């Protein structure tokens, strides 16, 4: 009885589609741009093999910005799915 009540309150999850992937990619690019502007020392630490591709960010800076991008992406995807856009 309790489990059916809990399952009834859980919203339906969104299935993966190319639209979802595009939203996540855009959010990660936005987060990298914010990180490049906001991180005080973006090139401190181990370098990436092609750091020019990621705006000269080091590995720790890239991991931080893409983690932030995924948080933004999850929020954007859930919000757009709730609005019925995705």
Q: What is the pLDDT along the chain (86 residues), one digit of tens a residue?
A: 677 777 677 766 788 899 999 999 999 999 988 988 888 887 777 777 776 777 778 888 889 999 999 999 999 999 998 888 88
Q: How far apart are CA 62 and CA 50, in angstroms?
A: 12
**Other C-beta atoms lying within 10 Å of the C-beta of residue 86:** 17
User: Would you mind telling me the total number of residues written for the chain in this entry?
Assistant: 86
Tell me the DSSP string of 16-36.
Answer: P-HHHHHHHHHHHHHHHHHHH
Looking at the whole model, is its pTM more than 0.75? yes
pLDDT at 1: 60
């Amino acid at each position: 009885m309790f489990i059916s009540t809990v399952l009834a309150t859980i919203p339906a999850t969104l299935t993966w589609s190319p639209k979802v992937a595009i939203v996540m990619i855009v959010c990660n690019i936005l987060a990298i741009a914010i990180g490049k502007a906001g991180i005080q020392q973006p090139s401190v630490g181990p370098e990436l093999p092609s750091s020019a591709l990621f705006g000269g960010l080091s590995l720790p800076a890239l991991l931080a910005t893409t983690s932030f991008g995924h948080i933004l992406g999850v929020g954007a995807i859930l919000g757009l799915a709730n609005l019925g856009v995705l």
